[in-house]
Amino acid sequence: MTTLAPPATIAFIGLGMMGRPMAARLVEAGFTLRLYDLSQKAMSDFVGAHPSALATASAKAAAQGADAVVTMLPDGKAVRQALLEGREAAREGLATGALVIDMSSSNPVDTQKLARDLAALGVALLDAPVSGGVKRAVDGSLSIMVGGAMADLERARPAFAAMGKTITLCGPAGAGHALKALNNYLSASGLVAMCEALVVGEAFGLDPGTMVDVFNSSTGKSNATEVKGRQFVVPRTFAAGFTTGLMAKDLRTAAEVAAHLDLNMPMLKQTVAYWADASGKLGASADHTEIFRYAEMLADVQS
Ligand code: NAD
């Protein structure tokens, strides 16, 4: 088993809000990149900025000659399509012994099946979803939650080190994806709590900026108050780079994991319903910080 060190070749599939900066970090670290995205423009923009990367016509073409395939796609269904089931899927180009790393936020139960299916082809899988958003993807300081074998993580470590700062082995296949979905449950509920508090506080006559500053020096502090309040909610710029639709998907995933384990989680169910309705009303492509506008709508506050 060879280590995935530069200038090893990585097929990078999915150049969206997160994939773009993550792939850029790999190029800058000296990896050779073969790209694939359904969007031709996503690929040509990337190659314009990083001419050493090669745009290809399919996941199969991207995988040809690659030591590893990284996927950064909307969900596990898109990952399965790109890797195994779609037309010209990566499996047709993958060499035995190659490593697949799914960095998307996929459903962990599907990931366990994907790991078995890939193992039958002689290909190892790591699930390695990330947290930190676009900002930390740009500066290469993501938190990477890994599921799979320690030996495969060690193989991939130089690539992970180019994209992230905290790399945690969470357990076997699916463990990273499970932890990511649960992390986003905390993130989503913390954001809603901050937004509801701001709506109530403003109606009472409090200044929202002052409220966020006080939360940040008090026990109400959270990721929402620290990196979303002053930055995107109070100025109403709503441009964190993560959509309401993707957050709703992550919450559904967390609830599916709980249901799979026969665990009743009432607040999680409530949070899933809240974000599903918000995603319908705001539009799935609305930035997730627009959940503040949804909180205002529910409170019947004019914005
Ligand atoms: P995005 O929608 O911006 O990008 C997805 C990209 O995948 C698009 O360029 C799209 O064209 C491409 N794509 C979709 N299906 C494809 C297929 N079958 N083959 C090839 N390309 C395909 O999404 P994003 O915000 O970059 O998020 C990607 C993943 O990372 C999601 O699972 C998301 O939940 C997770 N995530 C996002 C953030 C964030 O802040 N945006 C943070 C952490 C994790």
pLDDT in tens, 33-58: 999 999 999 999 999 999 999 999 99
Give the distance (Å) from ligand 1 centre to CA of residue 75.
7
Number of domains in the chain: 2
Residue 3 domain-assigned (yes or no): no
Q: Is the CB of 265 under 6 A from ligand 1?
A: no
Q: What is the mean pLDDT of the chain?
A: 97
Q: What percent of the chain has pLDDT over 90?
A: 97
Q: pLDDT tens for residues 97-128?
A: 999 999 999 999 999 999 999 999 999 999 99
- Structural domain of residue 73, as residue ranges? 9-171
- Taking the CA of residue 86 as reference, the ligand 1 atom at the shortest distance is 18
Q: Kindly state if the Cβ of 17 falls inside 6 Å of ligand 1.
A: yes
Kindly give the distance from the C-alpha atom of residue 88 to the centroid of ligand 1, in angstroms, as a whole number.
Answer: 20
292 CB under 6 A from ligand 1? no
CATH number at residue 247: 1.10.1040.10
263 in any annotated domain:
yes
265 pLDDT higher than 90:
yes
Catalytic residues: 180
User: Residue 42 is encoded by which pair of tokens?
Assistant: 């996503």
For residue 155, pLDDT beyond 80: yes
Assign residue 89 the CATH number of its domain: 3.40.50.720
Residues 64 and 189 in one domain: no
Cα 137 to ligand 1 centroid, rounded to whole Å: 13
pLDDT of residue 302: 72
Q: What is the mean pLDDT of residues 187-200?
A: 98
Mean pLDDT value of segment 230-251: 98
Which of these three, 171, 205, 225, is where a domain ends?
171
pLDDT at 212 over 80: yes
Rounded to the nearest 10 degrees, what angle do helices 208-216 and 175-204 cross at? 130
| Token couple for 142 | 């993501």
Same domain, 18 and 80: yes
Q: If you average pLDDT over residues 200-223, what whole number do you get?
A: 98
Asked whether 295 lines ligand 1 (CB < 6 A), one says no
Q: Is residue 4 part of a domain?
A: no
Q: Do residues 48 and 161 share a domain?
A: yes
Q: Is the pTM of this model over 0.75?
A: yes
Interatomic CA distance for residues 237 and 230, integer angstroms: 10
Indicate whether 290 and 158 sit together in one domain: no
Q: Are residues 242 and 124 in the same domain?
A: no
Provide the residue type at 273 as one letter.
A
Over range 88-96, report the average pLDDT: 96
Q: Are residues 164 and 203 in the same domain?
A: no
- How much is the pLDDT for 2? 79
| 104 pocket-lining for ligand 1 (C-beta < 6 Å) | yes
Give yes or no: residues 32 and 47 share one domain.
yes
Domain boundary among 153, 171, 189: 171
Hey, whose CA ends up nearest to atom 1 of ligand 1? 16
Please give the C-alpha separations between residue 19 and each of 62, 81, 126, 236, in angstroms, as whole numbers.
Answer: 15, 17, 17, 26
Backbone angle region of 283, left / alpha / beta, with phi > 0 → left and psi within -120 to 50 → alpha: left
Mean pLDDT, rounded, for 165-194 = 98
Q: What is the mean pLDDT of residues 177-193?
A: 98
**Percent of all residues in the chain with a pLDDT value above 70, rounded to a whole number:** 99
Atom of ligand 1 nearest to the CA of 20: 26
242 lines ligand 1 (CB under 6 A): yes
Q: Which residues of 187-210 are buried (b: 16+ CB within 10 A; e: fewer)?
A: bbbbbbbbbbbbbebeeeeeebee
In this structure, the answer to whether residues 267 and 167 fall within a common structural domain is no
Residues 131 and 65 in one domain: yes
Tell me: do 121 and 15 sit in the same domain. yes
Are 122 and 221 within one domain?
A: no
Instruction: Provide the pLDDT for residue 1.
Output: 65
